């Protein structure tokens, strides 16, 4: 029997975006189906659960108007696949991989399952090559490494989208003649946000090396669950078939998880924390763990997921579980944003766990690690003294305390607040030395005497004029 022609007519129940079909146990999990109603309208769907009694199908569009008596379901593909090709660079697609840029359809080289191919742990190579984002607080203090997954924790009203677009525009692999590409997936964004991203990518020329998947807020919820998997399928293809170094930007993972919660509620599953499904950790891991570098392959997949923290709460299930799976986080600060500093990245709660693998002599610069450690220590000290000033006043401070207080102010003004400038790592490190040179040499306890002798004494005004 040809399963592609077989039709299932025993539809029993509709719950939100879900369709329940009896006597369809031969349908496979993840299969793509076609749903035709009595009027002849065709909708797409995917099998998300199969038992001996019934199959559950996620409908990609709304289920309004479906009549159980006249609707039929037929198999289209045994598993969800995406046609991939290098022609996808420079193109825009919707959340399920259909072109939305008024250009001809892609001629695929192959059709890949969107669920991805698990990377054999033995074949994984240790991530240890530097990616330059052009953002000083990331490159110097929270270095991104090829093959890493490094999320950005944002909050309502913070400029995470602007930062994502800037990183997509500026990210590069310095000093190497390699192919670099950006795969950008936006989930549940508004029309204003969509226009911003499209205009930004086109205006800056970043679109030429990018593949955009854009799922709008008014698109079907189910599409939102497929969007990051579509993006990662393209990323893996470009990285491991065509040797690209691919940076995947996923925004906003909170919208993705809310879609997951909505589908779980439709399936009447027992909810976990804040109504999210209990398997959300596993589901997020199937996305985040698709980053990496593989032995024998020249390409790499690096992830930069962006997620909003409701009420700036880091214990919310989405940032909490993301923090467990990923290798650090870059945190945006509302306090820095209120000071009109951009990008408002707070280095103190931020962390890149793989940073030490990719910096130092022969990789970035021999003083990189010590400079980062000293910046953390000095800025942390200055922030603590600010809190002390609020209690006892500035008059009670020692001369050393005043220097740290001034350092914290200048660090935010010059180092964090770089605006839309694209700084090389050398420029960022030189600026860091100019700031550290405002402190007495005796306070630079995390830097060797050799490096102090070589770099200490840079004038802030001179360096600032160069960056």
Mean local confidence (pLDDT), 104-133? 89
Q: Are 434 and 398 in contact (CB under 8 A)?
A: no
Task: Name residues whose C-beta falls within 8 Å of residue 362's C-beta, 6 or more positions apart in sequence.
Answer: none
Give the mean model confidence (pLDDT) for residues 444-465.
87
Work out the mean pLDDT of the chain and round it to a whole number.
90
Provide mean pLDDT across the span 371-383. Answer: 96
- What digits encode the pLDDT tens for the residues 226-265? 999 999 999 999 999 999 999 999 988 999 999 999 888 8
% of the chain exceeding 90 in pLDDT = 58
210 Cβ contact list (under 8 Å, min separation 6): 89, 90, 168, 181, 182, 183, 184, 201
How far are the Cα atoms of 123, 147, 175, 233 from residue 295, in angstroms, in the given order?
Answer: 5, 12, 22, 19
What tens digit of pLDDT does each residue of 407-433 get?
A: 999 999 999 999 999 999 999 999 999
pLDDT of residue 467: 67
Radius of gyration, alpha carbons of the chain: 25
Handedness of CA 208, 212, 218, 220 (dihedral sign): positive
Whole-number Å distance between alpha carbons of 46 and 389: 60
40: left (phi over 0), alpha (psi -120 to 50) or beta: left
**CA–CA distance, 412 with 342 (Å, rounded to integer):** 10
Q: Does 268 have pLDDT greater than 60?
A: yes
What confidence tier does 204 reach under pLDDT thresholds 50, 70, 90?
Answer: confident
Task: Specify whether the CB–CB gap between 4 and 253 falls below 8 A.
Answer: no
Could you write out the DSSP letters of every residue in 347-376? EEEEEETTHHHH-STTTS-TTHHHHHHHHH
Is 60 exceeded by the pLDDT of residue 3?
A: no
Residue 175 has pLDDT above 90, yes or no: no
Taking a C-beta distance cutoff of 8 angstroms, is the pair 337, 346 a contact?
no
Taking only the tens place, the pLDDT of each residue in 302-312 is: 999 999 999 99
Phi, psi (5° rounding) for residue 462? -70, -50
The stretch 295-302 carries a mean pLDDT of 92
The answer, yes or no, to whether residue 329 has pLDDT greater than 50, is: yes
Mean pLDDT across the stretch 143-151? Answer: 94
Per-residue pLDDT at 2 exceeds 60: no
- Sequence-distant (6+) residues with CB within 8 A of 252 are 154, 160, 186, 187, 188, 189, 306, 307, 308
> H or E stretch including 466?
helix 460-466
Q: What is the pLDDT of residue 80?
A: 83
The pTM score is 0.88
**C-alpha–C-alpha distance, residues 149 and 165, integer Å:** 17
DSSP 8-state secondary structure symbol assigned to residue 441: G
C-alpha separations of 168 from 164, 190, 213, 358, 452 in Å: 6, 19, 14, 20, 35
State the first-to-last Cα distance of the chain, in angstroms, to the nearest integer: 69
Q: What pLDDT shows up at residue 1?
A: 38
């Amino acid at each position: 029997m040809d399963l592609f022609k077989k039709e299932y007519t025993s539809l029993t129940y509709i719950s939100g975006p879900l369709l329940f079909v009896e006597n369809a146990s031969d349908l496979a999990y993840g299969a793509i189906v076609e749903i035709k109603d009595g009027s002849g309208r065709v909708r797409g769907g995917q099998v998300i659960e199969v038992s001996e009694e019934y199959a559950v199908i996620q409908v990609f569009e709304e289920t309004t108007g479906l009549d159980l008596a006249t609707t039929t379901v037929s198999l289209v593909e045994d598993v969800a696949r995406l046609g991939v090709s290098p022609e996808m660079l420079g193109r825009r697609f919707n959340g399920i991989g259909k072109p939305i840029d008024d250009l001809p359809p892609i001629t695929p080289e192959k059709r890949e399952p969107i669920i991805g191919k698990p990377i054999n742990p033995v074949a994984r190579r240790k991530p240890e090559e530097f990616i330059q984002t052009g953002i000083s607080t990331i490159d110097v203090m929270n270095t991104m490494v090829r093959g890493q997954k490094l999320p950005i924790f944002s909050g309502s009203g913070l400029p995470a989208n602007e930062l994502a677009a800037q990183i997509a525009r500026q990210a590069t692999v310095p000093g190497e003649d390699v192919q670099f590409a950006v795969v950008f997936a936006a989930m549940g964004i508004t029309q204003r946000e969509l226009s911003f991203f499209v205009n930004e990518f086109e205006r800056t020329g970043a679109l030429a090396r990018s593949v955009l998947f854009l799922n709008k807020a008014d698109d079907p919820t189910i599409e939102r669950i497929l969007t990051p998997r579509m993006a990662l399928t393209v990323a893996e293809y470009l990285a491991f078939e065509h040797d690209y170094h691919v940076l995947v930007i996923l925004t906003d993972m909170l919208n993705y998880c809310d879609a997951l919660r909505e589908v779980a509620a439709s399936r009447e599953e027992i909810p976990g924390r804040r109504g999210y499904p209990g398997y959300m950790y596993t589901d997020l891991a199937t996305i985040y763990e698709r980053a990496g570098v593989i032995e024998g392959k020249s390409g790499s997949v690096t992830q930069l997921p962006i997620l909003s923290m409701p009420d700036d709460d880091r214990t919310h299930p989405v940032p909490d579980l993301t923090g467990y799976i990923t290798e650090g986080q870059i945190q945006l600060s509302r306090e820095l944003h209120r000071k009109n500093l951009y990008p408002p990245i707070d280095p103190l709660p931020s962390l890149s766990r793989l940073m030490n693998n990719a910096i130092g002599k022969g990789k970035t610069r021999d003083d990189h690690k010590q400079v980062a450690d000293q910046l953390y220590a000095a800025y942390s000290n200055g922030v603590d003294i600010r809190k002390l000033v609020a209690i006892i006043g500035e008059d009670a401070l020692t001369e050393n305390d005043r220097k740290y207080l001034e350092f914290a102010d200048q660090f935010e003004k010059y180092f964090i607040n770089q605006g839309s400038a694209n700084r090389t790592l050398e420029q960022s490190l030189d600026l860091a030395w100019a700031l550290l040179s405002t402190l007495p040499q005796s306070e630079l306890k995390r830097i060797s005497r050799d490096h102090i002798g070589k770099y200490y004494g840079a004038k802030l005004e001179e360096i600032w004029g160069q960056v």
